[in-house]
Homo-oligomer: A and B are copies of this chain.
Amino acid sequence: MDNPDIVEAPERGRLKMADIARMAGVSISTVSRALAGNPLIPKALRDQIVEIAQTHGYVVNQSARNLRLRKTDTIGVVIPVAHEAGQLISDPFFLEMIGRLADEITRRDYSVLLNKVVVTEAGWLERIIQSHRADGLVLIGQSTQHAALNAVADVYKPMVVWGARLPGQRYCAVGSDNVEGGRLAVAHLVGAGRARIAFLGPVDAPEAAQRFEGYKKGLAEAGIAFDPALAVPTPYTLEEAQRTVAAFLSAGVAFDAVFAFSDVVALAAIGALTEAGRIVPGDVAVVGFDDIVLARHSAPPLTTVRQDLAFGARAMVDLLFRRMAGEDAASTLAPVELVVRGSSV
């Protein structure tokens, strides 16, 4: 009654290791070992078992494996959104960063779990960590969560954050030299003969604050007094920022240059300026921050402070894996570089 010929695939599509074991006439452990390439099993038998698994389309069930091994071979990439859940993942900088991270993580044969999370609810980070869906975490941007990150960092090591270097920071961060970037931008504009330079950008997040600081530093070095009327808080998205800039324009404050917190805001500024009949860079020179792909192709091409995303992503993933291995890898500052294009000269 035990015809091996009918001991074939059961319930099509839900093979388990026991099925393969039966077909191969060995125990489950042997299959497990064979599939893991364990040299304890003679090569011939190993190949035979792998062959059987392959022809029947059997693959180890990762849920079971993850539970047993207490690891998932997965990295969580979390995108903190500050406001309501409605906010979309459309920011080009985020998208480029996600692509870069995915490349780096995939290269190490780990999977990427994308987590968009609204950070207004306390315990959001603990929840992600304790769900045990990932072996490590990369956060794109620290948002307003410096304190929350610090609190968690003490007990949860495999975590790396893209963002600003802050005093008293106990979590591992990778980010650009924002202050220097801001300074470079202003120095460039001053060198191009501009003196009434506006700052456009959000002010709540640390990175923005540092770029603003660099802006003021640049002004100071040039001997130009900081004029609060030229510091314009803007939202992050292109459309919203453009409306804000348009409103600022109609307020009639005089200025001949703009340093924007990001390329997206810079593009918004160019849009608003053009719509108002001001010429870029003739009437107003514009410098952005990030060097997203768009910057090179915009009209006019955008002068910007370049952040090397490939470097940043690689650094983050490197540090993360070292932390996952138990090392106490420290924060890194990525260099920035001014890229001069048509929007400022």
Contact call B96/A90, Cβ cutoff below 8 A: yes
- The answer to whether B298 and A133 have CB atoms under 8 Å apart is no
A99 near B106 with CB under 8 A, answer: no
Residues 201-245 (chain A) with a chain B CB within 8 angstroms: none
Is A120 part of the contact surface with B, judged by Cβ < 8 Å?
no
Tell which of A22-30, A58-66, A248-256 binds the partner: A58-66
- Would you give the shortest CB distance from A316 to chain B, in whole angstroms? 16
The minimal Cβ–Cβ distance linking A122 to chain B, given in whole angstroms, is 9
Asked if A15 contacts B103 (CB within 8 A), the reply is no
Give the residue of B13, B63, B90 whose beta carbon is less than 8 angstroms from that of A63. B63
The yes or no answer to A335 lying at the interface (CB within 8 A) is no
Q: Given B54, B107, B113, B156, which contacts A111 in the complex, CB threshold below 8 Å?
A: B113
Taking a contact as CB atoms under 8 Å apart, the answer to whether B95 and A96 are in contact is yes
Tell me how far the C-beta of A324 lies from the nearest C-beta in chain B, rounded to whole angstroms. Answer: 15
Binds B, one of A39-47, A124-132, A159-167: A124-132
A63 to B100, CA, bound (A): 27
Query: What is the interface of chain A mostly: helix, strand, loop, or mixed?
Result: mixed
Report the bound CA distance from A102 to B115 in whole Å: 9
Query: Measured between alpha carbons, how far is A60 from B60 in the docked complex, in Å?
Result: 23
Judging by beta carbons under 8 Å apart, are A57 and B298 in contact?
A: no
Contacts of A133 in B (CB 8 A): 62-63, 111
The answer to whether A132 touches B95, judged by C-beta atoms less than 8 angstroms apart, is no
Please tell me if A67 contacts chain B, counting CB pairs below 8 Å.
Answer: yes
Q: Given contacts A99-B95, A126-B59, is CB(A112)–CB(B111) below 8 Å?
A: no
Query: 12 new A-B pairs (CB below 8 Å) besides A59-B126, A61-B131, A63-B67?
Result: A15-B130, A62-B131, A62-B132, A63-B63, A66-B67, A74-B113, A88-B99, A88-B103, A90-B99, A90-B100, A112-B114, A297-B298
Interface residue from B60, B88, B123, B301 paired with A299 (Cβ < 8 Å)? B301
A293 interfacial contact with B, CB 8 Å: yes
**Which partner residue on chain B sits nearest A87 by CB separation?**
B103
Contact between A123 and B57, CB atoms less than 8 A apart: yes
Q: Does A89 contact B (CB under 8 A)?
A: yes
A60 B293 Cβ-Cβ under 8 A: no
For residue A186, give the distance in angstroms from its CB to the closest CB of chain B: 24
B131 touches A103 (CB 8 A): no
Q: CA separation between A62 and B66, bound complex, in Å? A: 10
